[in-house]
Amino acid sequence: MVDVARPGERIPIASDHAGFELKERLRVVLGALGYEVEDIGTHSTASTDYPDYAHPLSQQVSDGTVERGVLLCGTGLGMSYVANRYAGVRAAVAWNPEIAGLARKHNDANVLVLPARFVSDEDAVAILKTWLETPFEGGRHGARVSKIEQTNEQNGAVSPGSAS
């Protein structure tokens, strides 16, 4: 389970070209908050492919090298598609602080994905801080989160078409 803010923790951050400028801003914010930031790239506004940045960050979260990370692309969608293919990664696209808070409280989101073309810099900073500082509520949400990695059969769900 991801804990609340822990200054000194290493947090990787990555974006494609669409998220580059906002990444540069959030990198500074994370550093000012006391986190050790690992900037995976991209390092300019030159056109890039978002999976090239989502894969290395998601791998680190999945294998436990880090507890959490931050991804940015234009809509947040491409980055989240890649990240959520990794075991144990729960990547949440958040476009306001309330969504970011709920992604932590209810979903224990360990990757924050920002839709850089659809949030202001100020909102992005508020979203980031909320995600960093909001604890997971556990309880019934813990039971639900633990089912994410299970199969349909393990969850006792009825397969489509099998109900009589």
Active-site residue numbers? 73, 106
50 binds ligand RB5 (CB under 6 A): yes
Is the C-alpha dihedral spanning 59, 16, 145, 159 positive or negative?
Answer: negative
Instruction: Identify the residue among 1, 28, 77, 87 touching ligand RB5 (CB under 6 A).
Output: 77
Q: Amino acid letter at 67? A: E
Q: How far is the CB of 117 from ligand RB5 (least distance, A)?
A: 7
From 36-44, 71-79, 87-95, 145-153, give the range in contact with ligand RB5 by CB under 6 A.
71-79
Secondary structure in 3-state letters for 16-55? CHHHHHHHHHHHHHHHHCCCEEEEEECCCCCCCCCHHHHH
* Length in residues, the chain: 164
91 binds ligand RB5 (CB under 6 A): no
Nearest residue to 89 via CA among 106, 73, 69, 105: 69
Q: How far is the CB of 118 from ligand RB5 (least distance, A)?
A: 9
**Closer residue to ligand RB5, CB minimum distance, 78 or 97:** 78
How far apart CA 106 and CA 139 sit, in angstroms, is 9
Strand, coil or helix: 136: coil
Q: How far is the CB of 22 from ligand RB5 (least distance, A)?
A: 11
Q: How far is the CB of 149 from ligand RB5 (least distance, A)?
A: 24
**Closer residue to ligand RB5, CB minimum distance, 2 or 70:** 70
How far apart CA 100 and CA 146 sit, in angstroms, is 20
Instruction: Identify the residue among 73, 111, 119, 128 touching ligand RB5 (CB under 6 A).
Output: 73
70 binds ligand RB5 (CB under 6 A): no
Binding residues for ligand RB5, per CB under 6 A?
16, 18, 50, 73-75, 77-78
